[in-house]
Amino acid sequence: MSQTREEFVRRWSPFVNQITAGTGLFAETVLSQAIVESQGRTGLIPGTQLSRDHNNYFGIKAGSGWRGQTVSLKTGEVFNGKAVVITDAFRKYATPEDSFRDYVQFLRNNPRYTRAGVFTAKTPAEQAQALQRAGYATNPRYAELIAAVGRGIQKWIIPNTGSIAALAAAILFFLLITKPTKTATA
């Protein structure tokens, strides 16, 4: 089912918060990349053939180390400042969740993303720049595009409720144990 950006972000942000917890990845960056890589011409997500028919929301190609299913599709790239269309093999997933999980593993398992500072970025915009430095995409304006989408969607990202619930429970516990009690006199 195709969704608007808002519907997509509201649907997937709790899951993205869960799978990125403790990784240094910002939900805003992950969701922005998913939108950029899978939004179709209609503006709906999934809208590309790769995302709609093969659950690949991040345009991850099937390199020589990939042992899962693949699909060959045309894709736009920029080489030496020239936009070209090539046919390449992409990873194919059974579910969108598999695509999101594999995206996180893909970044974590490739040292170039660590070296570029993806996991230590202080802001989503810095993280987008690190992804571009690491060579995630050939578009020379990729970081700018990811950051712009991120600024537009951040208002729809559902916060990590696990952390909020834990914080609320800790505050409540603190208030209960520090509350003065009346002593009974006989």
Q: Is 102 tagged catalytic? A: yes
7, 28, 53, 102: the active-site residue:
102
Cα–Cα distance for residue pair 18/109, rounded to 1 Å:
19
* pLDDT mean across residues, the chain: 89
pLDDT, tens digit, 9 for 90 and up, residues 38-66: 998 889 999 999 999 999 999 999 988 89
Residue 128 in tokens: 């987008």
The reported pTM is 0.83
Fold entry, domain 5-58+94-178: Lysozyme (1.10.530)
Cα–Cα distance for residue pair 19/6, rounded to 1 Å:
20
CB 75 within 8 A of CB 86: yes
Q: Is 53 tagged catalytic? A: no
CB 86 within 8 A of CB 77: yes
6, 7, 28, 77: the active-site residue:
77
